[in-house]
Chains A and B, each alone.
Chain A
Amino acid sequence: MKEQERFEPRIIGFLCNWCAYTGADLAGVSRMKSAPNVRVLRLMCSGRVDPTFVLRAFQLGADGVLVAGCHPGDCHYQEGNYKALRRTLLLKRVLRQFGIDERRLRLEWISASEGEKFARVANEFTEEIRALGPLELTAALETGPALELEEVRA
């Protein structure tokens, strides 16, 4: 019998192109150890993050969502990260209404040179979600059952 597999959280990371994505890239180039659980989705700006994306991510099976952008004042598009901040705060309250633990949504400021920070956040967040357990919001999925990797490769 297989040992019960440890729960591996699936985390979607919305990273802004200029800061957070570059920082994540730096983490990679610098050979830092960061958890593979964070699956990166690159956007131009954290302000592009539509709250429906977050909900859709949870709906599609994400256990946690990380939104990462430039530090306040340093946004490549001036103020996009402030919009992200506002939306995230409001979104957390909405999630609570849905019965989703708001800790599953995390907003971080990661600059292009903070590779180390990205790695740390990724690791921390993964452990946090692992401790929270899987979300299992699988009811009413319109996309069908989850596919195994082999099926995808086929």
Chain B
Amino acid sequence: MITVNINGVERQVPEGTTILQAARALDVSIPTLCYHPWLKPFGACRICTVQVQRPRGYELLTACNTPCEEGMVIRTDTDNVRQARRVVLELMLARWPNVPVLQQLAAELGVEKPRFRSEFCDEDPEACILCLRCVRICEEVVGASAIGYEDRGIKRRVVTPFNRESEACVACGACAQVCLTHHIKFEPEDYRGKPPEFLLGPNTAIFIPTPQAVPKVPRIDPEACIHFKTNGCQKCVEVCEAKAVNHEMTDQEIEIEVGQILLATGYELFDASVMSQYGYGRLDNVYSALDIERMLNATGPTGGRVLLKNGQPPRAVAIIHCVGSRDENYQRYCSRVCCMYALKFAHLIKERCPEAEVYDFYIDMRAFGKGYEEFYSRVLHEGTNVIRGKVAEVVQAGWSKQDEGTLLVRCEDTLIGRFREIPVDMVILCNAIVPQRDAERVARLFGLSRSPDGFFLERHPKLDPVATSTDGLFVAGCAQGPKDIPDSVAQASAAAARMLATIAKGVVEIDPVRAEINEEFCSGCRVCNALCPYSAIEYLADKNVSRVNSALCKGCGTCVAACPAGAITGYGFNDRQIQAELEGLLAVR
């Protein structure tokens, strides 16, 4: 620690503290322009000039980059200091008279009317004042060094190399953030083709997915993070008091030994863009069910309002059922939940856009659950138009200006036996619920079968919908088939109960079907050792025989069939039993 004297007050500061830092700790104000706490002090503006007493006189130094020395006597309020700061500011105002941050500083320092006007005067209120914070942050924090300056002296300008678009720029916006005059502007481009207000993705590289996320902690998007592009920044690491941010985190494989597994890996939504006739991903204002769920959510991009891409509420909305479900070409099954959420959408849209017309295009209205039919009636009473028929296509209404934005839904209304063309502003698709795209891999991993629709196969469709053919392996939720929330909860509770029951029992009965080696007959040929898929057979070298570990043996019988000496017995399915069966089966004509 060293002692310094600022404006008559003595203070102890750690070695290496600059005069500016020491002054701020003492609440002594020193004006700055080019100083920024994240950057190495540069000393370009000289506004932070202070007076330091020397043995013979004094010296004017910049506070931001001068380290304190033992016994230093510093004054921030002498006439010299005031004069120096004032004139430096006048010099800057001679160049940029209309920049707000300079005018503000002028008012603080008592400069009333600037006396000078430079030959290179720039009257733009957003002129660059050469504080160089942008250049420095790009080099020191971001690590991209994408901008610099050209020419020297009064002609110095901040530019990208050769005045061309910089390839090193990672579009992080740091330069715009530190610019004092808004000379640098940052305008984010459409994220995934959608305007920024409709952002369904993160706004920053480190973000909390939604206010309702569980767990509600931030995560880093490696595609957007500056550190992964340039090895710089890491501001988040600096500011996190809990030291919880770690860019080096990698996926870890953890091995846990368990006795039972519940697979609740859920579903995926059918990608409606393959059904090009509906225009998803091609036409504006055609949304999937999940898109609309997000829009309706109070924490979503629109705050829960129903809005078109142009920010206006829709005049008419079409909701198309069975997109990809009950379809010869895609999924033949019914996705079970869509009719009810379609009615929910219709209800909410009517509530939030009372003037809007809502059209539901359905094949059958499946309102099978508790209170569902009553809700359907209510929605009809609210004025939702239900049209029974498949929608052939969704097209733009026309090419004229007044048609711009309007979509036409072309469908067959089977109840009146006519084709109809209904103009709407927004189309909502009820996508089919399909198995996750890695369902085959997962099934193979766990040794599960899948039903023809691709979802995991339960042990018995009526009597055992939560278990699978493998003991200890259970399925619940949409992994087993499309279902809504009450049903998923019920199934999950059932599976959990089954699993807990087994755990509560404390002991597990092993199947009696297993193999055993008769060590008298075994000659130690070891053919069986390699065959066992569970590595349940070990070879005892001292006895020159093989032995089955009955805890590991699953009783498949492969070794039994293979043993040349016939030394292995498969309990429950041994040779004599099978022979007897054969005899019995073939005894009758």
A and B interact: yes
Asked if residues B444 and A83 are in contact (CB atoms below 8 Å), the reply is no
Asked if residues B531 and A149 are in contact (CB atoms below 8 Å), the reply is no
- Interface range on chain B (Cβ under 8 Å from partner): 35 or more
* Cβ-closest chain B residue relative to A79: B533
Restricting to A46-73, which residues have a CB under 8 Å from any CB of B? Answer: 47-53, 56-57, 60-62, 73
Restricting to A90-109, which residues have a CB under 8 Å from any CB of B? Answer: none
A138–B582 alpha-carbon span in the complex (Å): 15
Asked if residues A76 and B470 are in contact (CB atoms below 8 Å), the reply is yes
Q: Is B37 an interface residue (CB 8 A)?
A: no
Q: Chain B residues with Cβ under 8 A from A52's Cβ? A: 575
Q: Chain B residues with Cβ under 8 A from A85's Cβ? A: none
Asked if residues B457 and A80 are in contact (CB atoms below 8 Å), the reply is no
Q: Chain A residues with Cβ under 8 A from B572's Cβ? A: 44
Asked if residues A149 and B589 are in contact (CB atoms below 8 Å), the reply is yes
A78–B583 alpha-carbon span in the complex (Å): 30
Contact of A57 among B513, B534, B586 (CB under 8 A): B586
Asked if residues A56 and B469 are in contact (CB atoms below 8 Å), the reply is no
A45–B556 alpha-carbon span in the complex (Å): 5
Asked if residues B470 and A43 are in contact (CB atoms below 8 Å), the reply is no
Which segment of B123-131, B261-269, B446-454, B493-501 sits at the interface? B446-454
Which segment of B207-215, B235-243, B541-549, B557-565 sits at the interface? B557-565
Q: Chain B residues with Cβ under 8 A from A45's Cβ? A: 556-558
Asked if residues B457 and A47 are in contact (CB atoms below 8 Å), the reply is no
Within the complex, the shortest CB–CB distance from B219 to chain A, in Å, comes to: 36
A143–B451 alpha-carbon span in the complex (Å): 43
Asked if residues B554 and A77 are in contact (CB atoms below 8 Å), the reply is yes
Q: Is B581 an interface residue (CB 8 A)?
A: yes
Asked if residues A77 and B556 are in contact (CB atoms below 8 Å), the reply is yes
Known: A22-B469, A47-B558, A112-B449. A149 touches B581 (CB 8 A): no
Asked if residues B578 and A41 are in contact (CB atoms below 8 Å), the reply is yes
* Cβ-closest chain B residue relative to A8: B589
A101–B236 alpha-carbon span in the complex (Å): 76
A79–B589 alpha-carbon span in the complex (Å): 35
Q: Chain B residues with Cβ under 8 A from A60's Cβ? A: 582-583, 586
Q: Is A140 an interface residue (CB 8 A)?
A: no
Q: Chain A residues with Cβ under 8 A from B513's Cβ? A: 44
A51–B585 alpha-carbon span in the complex (Å): 18
Known: A43-B578, A61-B586, A146-B587. A76 touches B560 (CB 8 A): no
Q: Is B588 an interface residue (CB 8 A)?
A: yes
Within the complex, the shortest CB–CB distance from B364 to chain A, in Å, comes to: 24
Asked if residues B444 and A74 are in contact (CB atoms below 8 Å), the reply is yes
* Cβ-closest chain A residue relative to B579: A56
Asked if residues A113 and B457 are in contact (CB atoms below 8 Å), the reply is yes
A120–B187 alpha-carbon span in the complex (Å): 65
Pick the most buried of B450, B581, B583, B586: most chain A CB atoms within 10 A of its CB. B586
Q: Is B333 an interface residue (CB 8 A)?
A: no
Q: Chain A residues with Cβ under 8 A from B578's Cβ? A: 41, 43, 50, 53
Within the complex, the shortest CB–CB distance from B447 to chain A, in Å, comes to: 6
Q: Chain B residues with Cβ under 8 A from A50's Cβ? A: 560-561, 575, 578
Asked if residues A76 and B447 are in contact (CB atoms below 8 Å), the reply is yes
Q: Is B539 an interface residue (CB 8 A)?
A: no
Asked if residues A113 and B452 are in contact (CB atoms below 8 Å), the reply is yes
Restricting to B446-476, which residues have a CB under 8 Å from any CB of A? Answer: 447, 449-452, 457, 469-470
Q: Is B524 an interface residue (CB 8 A)?
A: no
Q: Chain A residues with Cβ under 8 A from B469's Cβ? A: 18, 22, 76, 112
Asked if residues A53 and B557 are in contact (CB atoms below 8 Å), the reply is no
Q: Is B143 an interface residue (CB 8 A)?
A: no
Contact of B573 among A48, A51, A83 (CB under 8 A): A48
Restricting to B143-182, which residues have a CB under 8 Å from any CB of A? Answer: none
Q: Is B281 an interface residue (CB 8 A)?
A: no
A47–B573 alpha-carbon span in the complex (Å): 12
A57–B581 alpha-carbon span in the complex (Å): 10
Q: Chain A residues with Cβ under 8 A from B449's Cβ? A: 19, 74, 111-113
Q: Is B313 an interface residue (CB 8 A)?
A: no
Within the complex, the shortest CB–CB distance from A139 to chain B, in Å, comes to: 15
Known: A76-B470, A113-B457. A41 touches B557 (CB 8 A): no
Q: Is B570 an interface residue (CB 8 A)?
A: yes
A18–B573 alpha-carbon span in the complex (Å): 15
Residues of B in contact with A (beta carbons under 8 Å apart): 443-444, 447, 449-452, 457, 469-470, 513, 531, 533-534, 554-558, 560-562, 570, 572-573, 575, 578-579, 581-583, 585-589
Known: A111-B449, A148-B589. 18 other contacts (CB 8 A): A10-B586, A10-B589, A12-B586, A39-B585, A41-B582, A44-B513, A44-B573, A48-B556, A48-B570, A50-B578, A60-B582, A76-B469, A77-B554, A77-B558, A83-B531, A112-B449, A146-B586, A152-B587
Report the 10 A-B pairs with minimum CB-CB distance, sorted nearest first.
A48-B557, A77-B556, A78-B533, A47-B558, A45-B556, A50-B561, A60-B586, A39-B585, A61-B586, A79-B533
25 A-B pairs whose Cβ atoms sit less than 8 Å apart in the complex? A12-B582, A12-B585, A22-B469, A41-B581, A43-B573, A43-B578, A45-B556, A48-B557, A48-B561, A53-B578, A53-B579, A53-B582, A57-B586, A60-B586, A74-B449, A78-B533, A78-B534, A79-B558, A80-B556, A83-B531, A83-B558, A87-B561, A113-B451, A146-B586, A147-B587
